[in-house]
Amino acid sequence: MSWNKDYSGENNEQSSAHQLRMRSLVEAEEYRKEAFLRPLEYLIEDICESGLKVSFISALNLLIYKDATEEAKACLNIQIKCRQLGGYNLVNWLQKIIDCFSNVVVDHIQQNLKESIIKKHPTEGYVLSDDRAAFTHLEFVHAQHDFRSKIGTYFNAIYEDLNKSKHRLKRGDDDKIRKQKINFYYLKERDIDFAKDALLNLQEEFAVEMEGCRI
């Protein structure tokens, strides 16, 4: 028996696999650099699976745009492609989506629509947090307006899922506290769809606003 085994074929396979991995890493890094040149726009396009319908740098005042851009960077740092999110980082991503767009919605209501945002839930009467108040304002005060009501409804739905994900300890009928099980895969698919619908309607709302045809 010869101990001089020929490893040339195996080495070639290892070399090819290594080259593919390296090429994939280089491409991923280039993709990441491109995304971080325009983080807010990239995030919206990634969620909506389409190009932008409006210029957000034109639709927002500079301070709001910069703030949303920084929050968008935080989203991209969690996951560069939202549909590749795992259960372990979904909650953080949802929080950053709320952080990214709640200020945009607040500014739109106060500066563009010239309205004071409600403080209490219109039907249940409890006091709302500032970001939740803005979403609820669009959902209820503008219930008859197609774009605005959907923006509020879908962002509120994300907010509800975020709360359920963060506060999973529940007391049962036996008075014992247990952690509730969550299907993170289902939640991810649902909340990305909610975000997509919210942002598509937000773009439609800004398009109308920028054309000076407020409905």
Whether residue 15 is contained in a domain is answered as no
Tens of pLDDT, residue by residue over 166-184, are 765 566 666 666 566 777 7
> Within 13 Å and on the Cβ side, how many CA atoms surround 1?
1
Residue 18, in any domain of the structure: no
Is the pLDDT confidence value at 22 over 90? no
What letter represents residue 27's amino acid?
E
Whether residue 26 lies inside any domain: the answer is no
Average pLDDT across the chain, whole number: 86
Does 191 reside within a domain?
yes
Q: Which two tokens stand for residue 198?
A: 């919210």
pLDDT mean over 45-72: 96
**Domain-embedded: residue 122:** yes
**What is the extent of the structural domain holding 202?**
83-210
Residue 40, domain member (yes or no):
no
The count of domains in the chain is 1
- Residue 41: left (phi > 0), alpha (psi -120 to 50), or beta? alpha
Ranges of H-type helices in 79-183: 87-107, 130-136, 146-166
pLDDT value at residue 36: 92
For 121-157, what is each residue's pLDDT tens digit? 999 999 999 989 999 999 999 999 999 999 999 999 9
DSSP code at position 137:
I
> Is residue 2 assigned to a domain?
no
pLDDT tens column, 73-117: 999 999 999 999 987 799 999 999 999 999 999 999 999 999 999
